[in-house]
């Protein structure tokens, strides 16, 4: 049989747990009500942990860089960079970057991108006839060399025709991956992460539970059920006294 003492004990225990959610909802609700006066929309958070939590990644361990001899071509967060200058986004990966005459040739697993030395895109195309994804590129004289799987290919000087070759040979200067120079990271981070997140967005997500991802909705549902239980248990405790 449920006794008043048992209900009071659990009412206090649940009340302590509910207090956390009440404080969170109360504080965030007050801040949201005065968002304009507090300028929360224009106040930005640039904390790395919070930005990473929201999936707004900067330069991480997957980033890579290649030295063309005149500049550093880097890839991070789906973007290509020429030194600190962003070139183009939506790039899956960078497999190499070399200087060929007046152009820079950049290779992704499936395509080539040709840029001027100033970073202007000249052409972007899919090579025909490769047996596998592009693994590496290099220079041999005036030819671009490509390794696709275990097969080597050589281009003409215009990078328009390809022929399979038996082996790359010792004269090929391969484009080698290296860590991104530390002096380039701040500018790249700034581009990838923008100006940060508005404080208003973070507070709104905390208030709604979205800050905690998919489980956040369930947490807030649990908090609502907890408050309902406290309401009914409070009435149950009070009712005999009132009568």
What domains are there in the chain, each with its CATH number? Answer: 13-53+196-238 (no CATH), 64-193 (2.130.10.10)
pTM value?
A: 0.65
pLDDT tens column, 107-153 = 999 899 999 999 999 999 888 778 789 999 998 877 888 898 888 88
Q: Residue 8's pLDDT band (boundaries 50, 70, 90)?
A: low
> Highest mean pLDDT: which of 50-59, 107-116, 218-227?
107-116
Using H for helix, E for strand and C for coil, what is the string for 118-171? Answer: CCCEEEEECCCCCCCCEEEEEEECCEEEEEECCEEEEECCCCCCEEEECCCCCC
Tokens of 45: 């958070």
């Amino acid at each position: 049989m449920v006794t008043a003492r048992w209900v009071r004990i659990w009412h206090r225990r649940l009340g302590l747990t509910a207090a956390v959610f009440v404080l969170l909802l109360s504080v965030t609700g007050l801040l949201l009500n005065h968002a304009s006066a507090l300028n929360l929309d224009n106040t930005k958070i640039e904390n790395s942990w919070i930005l990473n939590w929201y999936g707004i990644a900067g330069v991480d361990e997957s980033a890579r860089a290649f030295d063309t001899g005149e500049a550093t071509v880097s890839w991070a967060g789906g973007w290509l960079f020429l030194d600190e200058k962003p070139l183009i986004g939506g790039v899956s990966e960078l497999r190499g970057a070399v200087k060929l005459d007046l152009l820079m040739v950049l290779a992704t697993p499936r395509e080539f991108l040709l840029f001027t030395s100033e970073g202007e895109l000249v052409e972007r195309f899919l090579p025909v006839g490769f047996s596998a994804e592009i693994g590496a590129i290099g220079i041999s004289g005036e030819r671009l060399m490509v390794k696709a799987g275990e097969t080597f290919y050589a281009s003409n000087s215009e990078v328009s025709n390809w022929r399979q070759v038996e082996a790359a040979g010792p004269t090929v200067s391969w484009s080698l991956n290296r860590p991104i120079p530390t002096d380039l990271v701040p500018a790249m981070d700034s581009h990838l992460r923008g100006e940060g997140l508005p404080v208003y967005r973070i507070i709104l997500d905390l208030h709604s539970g979205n800050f905690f991802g998919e489980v956040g909705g369930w947490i807030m549902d649990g908090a609502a059920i907890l408050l309902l239980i406290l309401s009914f248990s409070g009435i149950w405790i009070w009712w005999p006294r009132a009568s």
